[in-house]
Structures are given as structure tokens and as C-alpha cells.
Amino acid sequence: MDFKTAVFYFLSTILVLASLRVITARNPVHAALFLVLAFFNASGLWLLLHAEFLAIALVMVYVGAVMVLFLFVVMMLDIDIERLRQGFWSHLPLGAAIGLLMAGEMAVVLGGRYFWPEAMPAPGPTQPGYSNTKELGRLLFTDYVYPFELASVILLVAIIAAVLLTLRRRADSKFLNPRQQIAVQRNDRIRMVTMPSEKE
Amino acid sequence: MDALMSLLQPVQTMLGPLWPLVWTLVKIILILIPLMLSVAYLTFWERKIIGWMQVRIGPNRVGPWGLLQPIADGLKLLFKEIIVPTRAGTALYIVGPIMAIAPSLAAWAVVPFSDGYVLANVDAGVLYLLGITSIGVYGVIIAGWASNSKYSFLGAMRSAAQMVSYEIAMGFALVCVLMISASLNLTEIVHGQNRGMFAAMGLKFLSWNWLPLLPMFLVFLISGVAETNRAPFDVVEGESEIVAGHMVEYSGMAFALFFLGEYANMILVSILTSIFFLGGWLSPLGFLPDSFIWLAAKTSFILFLFLWFRATFPRYRYDQIMRLGWKVFVPLCMFWVLVVGIWMMSPLNIWK
């Protein structure tokens, strides 16, 4: 077993264990943190595959941004574990059926002829000067430019929708307008009055 | 360098296949020990400078001119007991400070100190930096949550929201730098600033990135101050509002780790500003030799700015911090990305 294989098994073991803990941890914050660990190890696996751009993007986007917001929400929620566990047995048949269906679908997809090792031969040794990142950028902006733009438009729509859903004008909230504060002049705030001294 | 390598030749043959591992560890230590010393003396220098600015003397009791003060502080913290609150989540409580300091040290792997003097000269250096520095926020969140205290949790939430917000502005500012240098390698970015009309005339400091990207330089600098939670953006430890932020329950060395991380991050942001916008180790004028001294001088100047800001400006209000980040910096950055894009496509392109 060479060094690379050892690293692969090391990362994969942590990845699988962390993913298991995501669904078995009782505390939702712990589960979210285990998901972070899983993402981190997945990015390590991608580094082993020479996909350094994807690996770092995974850490940057999912670990650095998405999971932070996720943790925010999970930490703010007051989750009552006991209440969530009520009715576990009555919901089990439906849940188990859906779970089995999903597992079956994944087995069909992964068992198909597109996902055998023969269908995806390992890329040969790369030439010096070959850049994975450049290749990815070329594909994204030439062959897949329309799907790429479409995805960004959908995300933009989602952003606007999220903003509109949470936007509400409250008549009773007080706030200061910084622009008005900056633009304030001396004459707006003080009034000079002449007070002649009084005589006895 | 070559003379040193020939001296090390017998060690290399003795260690055999373990040599790259040992040599990398030696290089890591060669980066981290000066870094930790700089952190220690940055705290001393900060207290001195703010003291002088406020017409005080600053620390002057321990050692000559107070020079041993940071060592004494470190020893004091080292011998203090680390108290774990009874209801705190113990494992996460200990992981918190580790997660705070580890990314601020790991980021130094790709920082070039001079031409060729870099631990890992990777092509995706800027991406690596963005990825690693974005992990730093976990230290804050985990520490705040695991302390099981309302004050530290509120402090962690404020700090994390602020760090995530200003990361976006910093990222956009870097996009402009990447566009004009056409590389993600930090050494290449510095070399790119050595070319141009002014560099040919000998006025090298005018061809550095700060001039064509002046708004982005300012955005990066100010976001760097906000990103490291320094005054005037230090709402994390706003004494008048919450006691001391996410580290309020920590004591001893666990507490010190947060501050080691914060000061290491300050030095990192300063050295990155020097590399991205101020020409790294390049000398300002053509006839002067390029060397590490220039990088150190530029970094020290930006660090001085950090301390100067702290002594000068009153603390921002929290909603104004968010307004500055989202409503001023992000639109400005997007606009400047467009400006740089049009500039590069026009015949006036100066980065060919």
C-alpha cells in the first residue's frame, strides 16, 4: 500500500464515520459540525484526485459560508428533542419506505453502466503546464455556458425571492438614516440666539 | 541557499525518504517561531504606540524599556488554570480556541517572503488563502456556543456575521487583483506588479496594484480591519454592550490562543495587503535592490495603521458595520470589477 492509498483510506474512514454521526448525533449542532468535518474530508479526497480547484471551492463555499449560516440557524432554534421523538414508531413505516425507495434509486443510478470504473478511466499522467482549473473554466464558459448562466439566473431569482419573503415594513420600528446623519449641517442642529445682558 | 543545501547533504542521505517531511517541518518552524515572536512584540508595540498617542508612557516596568513585558504576559497566562464551566460542552469547548488559531497559522503556507522563499509555491495560492481564512469563523462560533453562556453566544453571533459579511468584500477586491495579474499564485502576482510603464521609468511604486485599484486597496484594508475584529469594528468585545465576546468564559492559555490567533491574523492581513497591492518585496525605486526588508517595512506600516485606527476612531455601531459592508463595499466592488473588465478589454489596457 503506497502513501496515497493510505491517505485515501484515512480520509475515507473519517468521512464515512463523520457522515454516520451526522444522522446519529442527538445534538443538532454536533450533527452540523460533523457535516463540516465530512465536507473537509471530501475536499481532501478531491485533492488526491488532482481536482484542487473543486476541493478548495468546496471548503470555501460549503465549509466557509453555507455551513456557517446553517449553524447560525441550528444554534438559534430551540429544538426540543423529546417532542421530535414523539410518534417515531407511527411515522417509521412511511419514512422507511421513502428511505428504501431513495436507496433503490441510487443503486439503480450507481449500478448503471455509466458509473463502472471501466466507463470512467482514470486520467493519465498530466503534462507539465496542464491546469485543471483552466480546463474547468474553459468548459464552463464555452461548452456549458448556457447551463452555467441558467444556474446563476435561478440563484439570482432565489436571492430576490428570499429577500422579498423576509422584507416587511414595520411602522413602529425606529431607525436612523445614516445618509441624513452624514449630511447634517451646523445650522440644522443649533440656533444662535442673541441674549442681551439684563439690567438690574 | 545552495551553500546551505550542500551543508545539509549528509543529513539528507541519512534520513532517506523521510527527508522531505523533516525539511518541511523545519521550514514550518522557521516561519512559525518568528511569527509568534512578532505577535508577542506586536502586543507590546500596540500598548506602547497607543500609550504615546494618548500621552501616556505604556508598559515600561519589565526588563529594559519594558521589552520583556510580552514574555511576562505569556508566562502568566501559561501558568493560569483553564477553568471549564460546569454546563459547557467540554469537547467543543476545547476545540474552539484550536479552531481559532489553526487557520491563522495554516494560511502562512502560501505566503511568499521573497522571490522563491515560500513554503508551498502552489498555483491556487489565493484560493487556498480564501478557503483557509474562511474556516477561522468556526473557532468563534464553536467557542461561543460551547461556553453555554448568553454573553459569549451573542458575541460569537455578532462576530461571525461580521466576518462572513466582510469576507465577501475582501473576495471581490481580490477578484480585481486576479483579473489584472491573471494568476492565483502569490509570487506571480508580485512579479506582475514589476512590469509596466512606470516600472520601466524606475518609479516602481507607481506600477504597483494600489494605484489602478485604489478603491479596492482601501476596501481590502478596511475589510481586513473588520475581518480581524479590530477597532473600530471590535463589536465582539464591545465592553459597553456585551462583556467580552465569545472568549468571555475562557481563561489562561485557552484565552490567550484567541488573541494569538487575532494578532497572527492581523499580521497575515497586513502582509497580504502588501503582497496584493503594495508590490510585496519589490523596492519602490528602480535603483534599490528588491528584498525581504521592503516586505517587512510595508507590513509594519500597515500594522501601524491598525494600531493608529484603534487609537483614533470610536467604535462603529453594529447596524452601521453591516451597512458599510453590504450597502457600500459590496456594490462598490461589483462596480469596480466591471470597470476593470471594461478597462482590460479597451485599447487602454495597461496589463498586457
Burial of B258 per CB tally in 10 Å (0-12, 13-18, 19+): buried
Q: Which sign, positive or negative, has the C-alpha torsion B299, B29, B183, A48? A: negative
Q: What is the ipTM of this complex?
A: 0.84
CATH of A1-79, one of 3.30.1450.10, 3.40.50.2300, 1.20.120.1200, 3.40.710.10: 1.20.120.1200
B90 touches chain A (CB under 8 A): no
Residue A87 confidence class, pLDDT cut points 50, 70, 90: confident
Query: How confident is the model at residue B144, as a pLDDT?
Result: 87
CB contact under 8 A, B134 and A64: yes
Chains A & B: contacts with CB separation below 8 Å: 59
Enter the pTM of the model: 0.88
Q: Considering CB atoms only, which of B92, B127, B138 is closest to A56?
A: B127
CA angle A80, A84, A85 (to 5 degrees): 120
Q: Please name the residue that has the C-alpha cell 470512467.
A: A120
The answer, yes or no, to whether residue A73 has pLDDT greater than 70, is: yes
**CB contacts, 8 Å: A64 with chain B:** 130-131, 134-135, 137, 167
What is the structure's pLDDT at B105? 93
Q: Does A31 touch chain B (CB under 8 A)?
A: no
Query: Could you report the average pLDDT of every consecutive run of 10 residues in chain B (352 residues)?
Result: 72 79 90 93 93 91 89 90 82 89 92 88 86 89 87 86 89 91 88 83 85 92 90 77 78 88 93 92 87 92 93 86 90 93 88 76
Residue B258 · residue B100 · CB < 8 Å = yes
Structure confidence by residue, pLDDT tens digits, B58-109? 898 888 888 999 999 999 998 998 888 888 777 888 888 999 899 999 999 9
Of B332, B325, B311, nearest in space to B232 by CA: B311
- Least confident window among A87-91, A104-108, B2-6: B2-6
Q: What is the pLDDT of residues A18-29, one digit of tens each?
A: 999 998 888 888
pLDDT reported for residue B1: 62
- Alpha-carbon gap, residue B346 to B340, rounded angstroms: 10
Least confident of A47-56, A116-125, B286-295: A116-125
> Strand ranges (DSSP E) for B199-252?
none
What cell was used for A38?
465530512
pLDDT at B240: 67
- CA of B12: how far to CAs of A96, A107, A145, B7, B29, in Å? 59, 51, 50, 10, 18
The beta-carbon contacts of B82-89 under 8 Å, at least 24 apart in sequence, are: B82/B250, B82/B251, B82/B252, B82/B253, B82/B254, B83/B251, B83/B252, B85/B147, B85/B148, B85/B149, B85/B249, B87/B148, B88/B146, B88/B147, B88/B148, B88/B249, B89/B145, B89/B146, B89/B148
Nearest-by-Cβ selection for A178 from B135, B160, B320: B320
In this complex, is the C-beta atom of A74 within 8 Å of any C-beta atom belonging to chain B? no
**Domain-by-domain residue ranges, chain A?**
1-79, 130-167
